[in-house]
Homo-oligomer: A and B are copies of this chain.
Amino acid sequence: MALPKVGSIGEYIREQRQQAKISLRQLASAAGVSNPYLSQIERGLRKPSAEILNQIAKGLQISSQALYVQAGLIEDRETPSDVVTAIRADAHLSERQRQVLIDIYESFRKEKHPEDEQTSQKAHPRGDSVTDDEPPLPEEFLAALEPYAASGGNGTVNQETKEG
């Protein structure tokens, strides 16, 4: 049983890491695990414990739960994977807001996930720090959301960027 079929989890981690444009060693350092071990995990040669998984999730700044689901450590149905249901059940949203969120979510789900083809990014980030601190959402984007947001009409988008 030494053949772990956890390939997906390793691939998932590697995808997330490359998407974040950080090197294996950087992630290993951020996650507090050794570089060789992370290498083996990414290639599916080792089955990381949940503790390591959790640290990696932190290093990647992604949800631990998503990682656990990928690792098969949490049953899919156990997670409220039904985002739409959650949105529908949220009483704090207006009906218009719900519709917008659901539409965006479904459009995301339709976007096929390319198998890690980052053609657009540089192959070598080099010594230059690649701190992609892009703001979560540009103001104009949120401004475009407003008319769809609520019926209040009070256009007040408080998206203060707490950039230190």
Contact = CB atoms under 8 A, between A and B. Distances in A.
A73 to B, nearest CB: 5
A80 B91 contact: no
Contact of A100 (B85, B136, B152): B136
Given A65-B89, A83-B87, A150-B113, A19 B136 contact: no
Interface stretch (A22-30, A33-41, A137-145): A137-145
A65 B62 contact: no
A152 B18 CA distance: 13
A64 B74 contact: yes
A91 to B, nearest CB: 4
Contacts of A60: 95
A63 B78 contact: yes
A65 B63 contact: no
Closest 3 CB pairs of A and B: A50-B50, A86-B86, A114-B152
7 contacts: A19-B151, A54-B74, A80-B82, A81-B86, A81-B90, A92-B116, A114-B154
Interface of A: 16, 19-20, 47, 49-51, 53-54, 60, 62-66, 68-71, 73-76, 78-83, 85-101, 103-114, 116-120, 122-124, 127, 130, 132, 136-137, 141-142, 144-146, 148-154, 156-159, 161
